Structure 1
Amino acid sequence: MGAVTVAAGRVPGLGHALALARGPMKFIQGLRSQGDVVTFYLGTVPIHQINSPDLIRRVLVTDAHQFGRGQIFAKARQLFGDGLATADEPVHMRQRRIMQPAFHRDRIATYVDVMRSEMREFVDSWRPGQIVRLDRAVSRLTLAVTAKALFRADLGTAAVTEVCRSLGPILNGVTKRAMLPDVYERIPTPGNRQFDAGLRRLTAIVDEVIKAYRESGADHGDLLSMLVSSEMTDTEIRTQVMNILMAGTDTTAITLSWAFHELAVNPDVRRKVFDEVDTVLAGRPVTAADLAKLSYVERVVAETVRRHTPVWLLMRKALAPVELGDVTVAPGAQVMISMPALHRDPALFTDPLRFDPDRWLDPRASEWPKAGSLVPFGAGRHRCIGEAFALAELATALVTVSQKWELRPAPGPRVREVARAFLRPNALLMALQPR
């Protein structure tokens, strides 16, 4: 076996923590040129970053049985319990089988109607010339869509506001706590206080919704009804709901924000979207059957997911000695995959920072996921169960907004990427122009 490649700049006692804190994506992206497996340290804890698409596929798919969930998932599991987004096998597969019917292709078709209705209400509230903080607005939108489509719950304006307010500190807190020693959690920092308060608020809201479902006894034909009718306890159901809110709503909102940003700064792309939407729909509301006909919109969504993959790190833990290339990873060692760094590798994608929907016309595009060079939703048995739901939601939102509005960048801070729980825009101010 070859020697382990250790990232440059290691500081005694701190490892690479300072470099990672100063610029997470710059640091992680820089590791890609140093080898297929590069080790960096958080304090004294080694993290093995996997850069080779072949090895990434091994970790996530072919040799997935040799890996468990990583450090971030372990921390999330402590806080939210064993849910679909955090559980290891065999618990994960049992839960997935229970929940899979809610994400079947036929169900997705019915969800599109709910998505469109929520989005029409969203855009109908806008006014010509208005300046909106779009990244915040779409967070409320995606939460409302998830609640209506998967839980059919009318959370109410106050509850939606509370969930939006709570999710950010919780998600950011989970990532930070996974990267820092456990003692950090006991320090009464403002971030820790916000995290604890947010978790209490979110738990109370979810418990109220579950209680209402139990008391009504009605089958609403949604995921929550399915869970309530299963043998799960209320605590287990809460865990699943929290997992879906944690894993699905913010990532979709961030991706949608980036999609509108790219339309706003790329006039040619925006014009092609408008032309296709006008031609295919001729002014009528979009349906699930229309999405397959909107091929350019589909490519815009795919390119946004590649260029702006919101999940910036995925961690696994070796369960046994594993040989990855020239490196033997010891049992218990943490392995990390950075999807954005992978998707921005010029060796894999031509001019990767350019937003180019037509790169998806490349005949090789269908092979990218199989080769391990494109994994925005993960891969293998832990691949995101809500992938089809998210893609339909993104396309429906782009179409519904584009039928009525043209969004242009408004004066304000330069839009830049910041790494928190996810890779998000720092602020996205948009001026609204009727089409």
Structure 2
Amino acid sequence: MGFSFNSTVLPAHDAWSGYLADAHKFLPDSTLRLALLAFINIPVIVIVLNVLRQLVLPKNPSLPPEVFHVIPYVGSSPAYGNDPIAFLESCRKKYGDVFTFVLLGRKMTVALGSAGNNFILGGKVANLSAEDAYTHLTTPVFGKDVVYDCPNEKLMEQKKFIKVGLSADNMRAYVGMIEHEVSQYLRKDPSFRVFQMNDINEWGQFDVLTASQEMTILTATHTLQGKEVRSGMDTTFAQLFTDLDGGFTPLNLMYPNLPLESYRKRDRAQKKMADFYVNIIKARREGMSTNDEPDMISALMGQTYRNGTPLPDHEIAHILIALLMAGQHTSSATAAWALLHLANHPEIAEELYQEQVKRFSTPDGALRLPTYEELKSLPVLDSVIRETLRIHPPIHSILRYVRADLIVPGTLSAPSKDSQYVVPKGHYVLACPAVAQVDKSLWSKAEEWIPSRWTDPEGQAQQAFKQYTDENGEKVDYGFGAVSKGTESPYQPFGAGRHRCIGEQFAYLQLGTLLLTVIRNIEMRIPSGVPPPNYHTMITLPKQPRMITYRRRKFD
């Protein structure tokens, strides 16, 4: 989540002269002078009072320290929006693990580190609400009565329904579907013209983010969304997705109801896309459409809530939209970062290729497709994905709305031994697992992409992963089946607690199959190096230029 601000452009001198001449017609000189003085001085006075409030007035010792800021309402928004990780780490050095900053009028109390993550992500729903923090962003995009537009206990049931479509049998079938889509994309997309030519020594270029976004949406629609949706990707559905995606931005999060065309396009696209899904569901129920591949539509059509109410068709449609939108952004971002690092480290890409040669070579010299179980047992692939998620978690900050005054645990920074911080009702709390994942006190060469750190069974990476997956057997059932809590781990690529990503296993499958298919077909380089992250988007994406140079792989 990031923000950018544009300065206001003042009218030219001649325009101001015109405004003043018009004002003289209606206002006496004295009134006009007072109005001009107020116009000039009131903002200055407000800023001065805001600064004096922070410097002079006594502070409430029960409140976390507040990050100093000059302009009211705006607060620390520019610093946080441009580089949240650097901003939070600098505040941590000055204020400790717990502090509050102002983000466009909202009071954000940050709790960093493993203890901070546990405090926020492991908090009780009665105190900390994800729904109140996100519904104004997600409901216009996903639709009513699902995700954050329903009580938490209903969301937990919906997550349980989704797990039916992510069964092991379905995952086994999805491997071949994903490999087929990626292979076809490499053969048909104009960006990969070199891939189609006979000269294996010729090099071409492709935009890694564009390619990753297109490959992930093709693979997601073919597997989870169903054949009707996949066939629509070449027609009107693709434009609906683009318009709906335009409503999933930091601007929409902070200002949910602006009179902008992008908002109107979002609303029109949401309705049309929901109707598109509902028509598919109705056609299947009436026997007008058949499906011979496992998908989420079939899995959801037979689900019933605990109170006996069948899952309505409009909720099925909205869940499918939520799965497509949320999964598309996170998976495409991770795939792009992984390919960038592999292009920057061709020796690791070669290790990834040789891992396939060793395991999946056939007598005729080709490479067979790994099974779902085999995909989960490839150490180089696993290390590449885990390390990419450590350095580049798709979502850097996680918010909760504080429903009731909340005492910060004593294990976090406190004003004294005899008192504790209290986060007031109406504040937001912010967890940033991304900070813990590059904490220099926890990780050796924390900011470097080093997949091999995950192969050391006694290293910090493996210890963090064991804590994340609760290998000791401590599981929690929030209403959608027993899962590892993972809230105290310094490694949380898919969130933690009751809102941990339900599609984690599918994401690994999708990313793994995509990376293996690309690597077995092309060699990659990136002369410009891996670009820095762009924090001005909902999901952390690579900045431009992000062109990868490639050529067809030579086969022995």
Query: What TM-score results when the alignment is normalised by the length of structure 2?
Result: 0.71
Work out which of the residue numbers 265, 271, 277 in structure 2 matches 1:209.
277
Distance in 2 (alpha carbons) for counterparts of 1:160 and 1:141: 16
Residue aligning to 2:496 = 379
| Cα deviation digits, residues 54-90 of structure 1 (max 9, x gap) | 2311322264553211655121244133423665411
Deviates more, 1:263-272 or 1:202-211: 202-211
8 Å contact 1:69–1:86 — kept in the other structure?
no
Residue aligning to 1:389 = 506
8 Å contact 2:133–2:401 — kept in the other structure?
no
Distance in 1 (alpha carbons) for counterparts of 2:382 and 2:180: 20
8 Å contact 1:64–1:380 — kept in the other structure?
no
Letter in 1 for 2:465: S
Work out which of the residue numbers 373, 384, 402 in structure 2 matches 1:318.
402
**Is the counterpart of residue 351 in structure 1 residue 470 in structure 2?**
no
Distance 1:160 1:299, change over 3 A: farther
Distance 1:357 1:163, change over 3 A: farther
Work out which of the residue numbers 367, 378, 394 in structure 2 matches 1:294.
378
Residue aligning to 1:434 = 552
- Secondary structure of 1:432's partner? strand
Unaligned 5+ residue runs, structure 1? none
- Secondary structure of 1:6's partner? coil
Distance in 2 (alpha carbons) for counterparts of 1:312 and 1:187: 29
Letter in 1 for 2:424: A
Distance in 2 (alpha carbons) for counterparts of 1:163 and 1:113: 27
Work out which of the residue numbers 270, 280, 295 in structure 1 matches 2:359.
280
Residue aligning to 2:422 = 328
Letter in 2 for 1:430: I
Structure richer in helix, relative to its length? 1
Question: How many percent of aligned residue pairs carry the same amino acid?
Answer: 21
Deviates more, 1:318-327 or 1:386-395: 318-327
**Is the counterpart of residue 40 in structure 1 residue 101 in structure 2?**
yes
Shift of 1:158: 2.2
Distance 1:198 1:334, change over 3 A: same
- Secondary structure of 1:373's partner? coil
Residue aligning to 1:138 = 212
8 Å contact 1:214–1:228 — kept in the other structure?
no
Residue aligning to 2:522 = 405
Shift of 1:410: 6.2
Letter in 2 for 1:210: V
Unaligned 5+ residue runs, structure 2? 1-60, 195-202, 304-309, 362-366, 415-420, 469-485
Residue aligning to 1:252 = 331
8 Å contact 1:73–1:86 — kept in the other structure?
no
Distance in 2 (alpha carbons) for counterparts of 1:163 and 1:417: 27
Work out which of the residue numbers 96, 99, 116 in structure 1 matches 2:179.
116
| Cα deviation digits, residues 102-154 of structure 1 (max 9, x gap) | 12333222222211111121223333233212211221211111111112133
Deviates more, 1:85-94 or 1:313-322: 85-94
Distance in 2 (alpha carbons) for counterparts of 1:43 and 1:202: 27
Residue aligning to 2:13 = none
Deviates more, 1:193-202 or 1:113-122: 193-202
Distance 1:264 1:194, change over 3 A: same
8 Å contact 1:159–1:205 — kept in the other structure?
no
8 Å contact 1:151–1:223 — kept in the other structure?
yes
Letter in 1 for 2:129: G
Shift of 1:38: 1.5
Work out which of the residue numbers 233, 238, 242 in structure 2 matches 1:165.
242
Letter in 2 for 1:118: E
- Two-structure CA RMSD over aligned residues (Å): 2.4
**Is the counterpart of residue 59 in structure 1 residue 113 in structure 2?**
no
| Cα deviation digits, residues 326-384 of structure 1 (max 9, x gap) | 32122332111123223122122222210011111342243442433111111111110
Number of aligned residue pairs = 425
Work out which of the residue numbers 82, 91, 94 in structure 2 matches 1:31.
91
Higher-Rg structure is 2
- Secondary structure of 1:415's partner? coil
Distance in 2 (alpha carbons) for counterparts of 1:354 and 1:40: 29
| Cα deviation digits, residues 228-285 of structure 1 (max 9, x gap) | 3442333322221221122111110010000000001113322221221221122222
